Chains A and B, each alone.
Chain A
Amino acid sequence: MDLTTRPLASAAGTSPADLRSLPTARPLVEMQGVTVTFNNRPALHGVNLAVRSGEVVTLIGPNGSGKTTLIRVLGGLIKADAGKVEKRDGLRIGYVPQRTHIRNSLPMTVARFLALGGKVNRAGVAEALAEVGADGLADASIHQLSGGEFQRVALARALMQRPDLLLLDEPAQGVDVAGQAQLYQLIDRLRRERGLGVVLSSHDLHLVMAATDRVVCLNGHVCCVGSPASVANDPAFRGLFGEAAAALAVYRHDPAHDHNHDHGSDGVCDHDHHHS
């Protein structure tokens, strides 16, 4: 079954103005039948995924389900062993890895770290830091940041690339609850104001649902795709996360941003589990 060619499975949950005016907009990136094998063990199998401007796609799945691998394929860091990855011409990608370990032996201020991505001036650095709520950190040593501060700085660097597509691998990790709420508000704003496509991975179901248009439930292959609500009710999802987790998943952060609860039409679930 091809999940990608269905007419905007996510449109129901996306801000209507952007997408309805562009119903046939080409995806920023489109994967077809992507398979990745590490040491003869498949990490991803036959994955189809398309991401459009202004759309937030969240990958969920247990550890080792291929979330990071999928993001790395999108970022061009891993080549697919089979299948196709088509990117729109000139696509600019901002990437925040799950963990960045900068050796202590490399002296570096936050401002310098931001400038590594290209030529920027002092004002650009301050602006990017303000956007992610990390004002005043420009002259701090990158080694003295807390986990949450570092995530913001890494996100600021990704945004300085003026990306069309933002790839965030477990962005909520190591961030406290208040910080997570801010993070998801920021993602929501970026998508609305700049029309960014966002792909993020998380295993925190609670927060996944807040600002997500489409949830992709991953376990080596795509088990289940749809709006947060429809995925939460899907047996494949419940099989992976259990009933309790599914109950959590319908929790919503921002009622003003509530999605269309039309489970029938916006959920596409693949119960044909081809384990390999």
Chain B
Amino acid sequence: MFDSFFLYALAAGIGVALVAAPLGCFVVWRGLAFFGDALAHSALLGLAFGMALGVAPGAAVLVFAVLFALALAALERLGPLASDTLLGILAPSLLAAGMIASTMLPGARLDLLGALFGDVLAVGPTDLAWIYGGGLVVLAGLAWLWRPLIAATADADVAAVEGISVARLNLALLLLLALTVALAVKVVGVLLIGALLVIPAAAARGLARSPEGMAIIAAVTGVLAVILGLSGSLAFDLPAGPAIVVAAALLFALSLVGGRQRQAA
């Protein structure tokens, strides 16, 4: 009854949602929503360069995300500007530069709409292999570092005194986040990745009593959003990436009601 493109899209969306959920929890716990957004925006420049140099787009996106994070850290150390100001400079500038770079590409030009909002219905077996292979790497890394990451998130100083090397953990989290961005570009595009990270985690907060519980509820929420969004896209001919994000937002609204009732109980 479903065409294979739809099944591929479903598989890709679910894979990305499962990876984005726990990382999105860290984004929410650490107040990195704006950072995650900016990280994703840097991906457009990565895509353009990857295409120009003939490198795998995922690898180029990863490199640019890491470069962006290093630039941000250096700017924070150098000057008196708060990180939200710096992000407010870097995120749109990188997006603009990515846009310009993509128009300068010779020959086969970058599918801009797809890069910005996702092109999940065009996912093929190679993309799927990327998403699931990379996703497994991210989830394995996260599982390995889970306890110290949670400790460093709750209170970095106490964790450091207890012997956790917080700076190294932060770097690891950044790499995992960059990898997740690289995996998610194809599904929701650089403009909407932030939403895929933050919304399911935010929806899970009111229903969770533990960090793990929140990550699991976020994963379920993300998967539901993918299924609902893609079904809506198929039924009403909606753009797929935006449909997934709107579905996630609706689930978030529902979670507010659910959370209220839980508190009342």
Residues of A within 8 A of B (CB): 72, 75-77, 93-97, 100, 102-103, 105-109, 112-113, 116-118, 141, 154, 157-158, 161, 167
Contacts and interface: CB of A to CB of B under 8 A. Distances in A.
B211 A108 contact: yes
A101 to B, nearest CB: 8
Interface in B102-153: 147, 150-151, 153
30 contacts: A72-B157, A75-B157, A76-B161, A77-B157, A95-B157, A95-B162, A96-B158, A97-B158, A102-B154, A102-B155, A103-B30, A103-B31, A105-B29, A105-B31, A105-B202, A106-B29, A106-B211, A107-B209, A107-B211, A107-B214, A108-B210, A108-B211, A109-B209, A109-B210, A112-B210, A112-B211, A117-B158, A157-B158, A161-B162, A167-B161
B213 A107 contact: yes
Pairs of residues from A and B, 9 with the lowest C-beta to C-beta distance, nearest first: A95-B161, A116-B151, A106-B29, A75-B161, A107-B208, A105-B28, A100-B155, A117-B162, A102-B154
B25 to A, nearest CB: 9
Contacts of A106: 29, 153-154, 211
B209 A93 contact: no
Interface string B171-214: 00000000000000000000000000000001001001111011
Nearest to B162: A117
Contacts, number: 66
B250 interface: no
B254 interface: no
B173 to A, nearest CB: 14
Nearest to B156: A77
A97 B157 contact: yes
Given A97-B158, A100-B158, A116 B29 contact: no
B159 interface: yes
Contact of A118 (B162, B208, B210, B211): B162
B212 to A, nearest CB: 9
Given A77-B157, A118-B162, 14 more contacts: A75-B161, A76-B161, A97-B158, A102-B154, A105-B31, A105-B205, A106-B153, A107-B209, A108-B154, A109-B209, A109-B210, A116-B150, A141-B209, A158-B158
Interface of B: 28-31, 147, 150-151, 153-155, 157-162, 202, 205, 208-211, 213-214
Contacts of A167: 161
A117 B150 CA distance: 10
Given A116-B147, A116-B150, A95 B158 contact: yes
A92 to B, nearest CB: 9
A273 to B, nearest CB: 31
A95 to B, nearest CB: 4
Nearest to B150: A116
A94 B163 CA distance: 11
Contact of B161 (A77, A103, A116): A77
A38 to B, nearest CB: 14
Contacts of B153: 106
A72 B31 CA distance: 24
B152 to A, nearest CB: 9
A69 B169 CA distance: 24
Contact of B210 (A72, A76, A102, A107): A107
Contacts of B161: 75-77, 93-95, 167
A94 B157 CA distance: 11
Contacts of B162: 95, 117-118, 161
Nearest to A111: B210
Nearest to A142: B154
Nearest to A112: B210
Contacts of A112: 210-211
A146 B213 CA distance: 25
B154 A113 contact: yes
Given A103-B31, A107-B213, A116 B154 contact: yes
